[in-house]
Amino acid sequence: MTKSTGATTSTGATTSTGATTSTGATKAARTGTSQRDRQKEVTLQLLRRAAREAFYSRPYEEVSMEDIARGAGVTRGTVYLYFPTKLDVLNDLLRDDLADQMSIYDELALVRHESTAQMREWLQHFHDQMMSRGPSLYLHTLYLRRVPQDSVLVSGHRETAMAKLGKVYPGFDLSGLAGAARERKRVEIYLMLFQIEQVVLTFSSVDGSPEIGLGLDIVAERLLEFAGRG
């Protein structure tokens, strides 16, 4: 009668003793890591949502880490694992908003828009996304007043958007330019981006502003013309 040794095979298959092989252990470890990563992301999103709700409804000084924990349904210790201070929370919300806006610029850079209708559709999407995060502008100002050196996050964000758009649209392309000519075009690009952002945000949120639909129509025409400049 053949005896079972229970040894691990070279292929990593499970032996007759039922012992876990090296391949199985690796898969289990990867699965566990993946699950932990997903749970961390879920927790982070809960914390962001709770923080926004807290900061939107009360002055910054009145919001505590305990408030954020309660809103997210986690312990205060969990909040501190992600954010040592309230300023770290604001920093994260700023970065999250910039990443969301960049994803919209990525859509514009993914496929060249060659008609006013396409630009108008993109601007509407830009508008809808910005309005869903509208109150965050207050949080950005709040944070940058306290940590002014982090203004580079915003300027760096715009420079990245410019570089991406410049690969698709001549009007945003700075390659081949130097000195005063390059800086002049860079200023023109900034002004175009400001126009997009300010019409979207101001026309939709400030009482007495012009009608947002007409504003987007005009910006779409200007954006198409600007993007196509050689």
In tens digits, the chain (230 residues) has pLDDT values of: 444 444 444 444 444 444 445 566 566 556 667 888 899 999 999 999 999 999 999 999 999 999 999 999 999 999 999 999 999 999 999 999 999 999 999 999 999 999 999 999 999 999 999 888 878 888 999 999 999 999 999 999 999 999 999 999 999 999 999 999 999 999 999 999 999 999 998 898 888 989 999 999 999 999 999 999 97
pTM equals 0.79
Structural domains in the chain plus CATH codes: 23-84 (1.10.10.60), 85-230 (1.10.357)
| Dist. CA 133–CA 114, nearest whole Å | 28
Token pair listed for 85: 């201070």
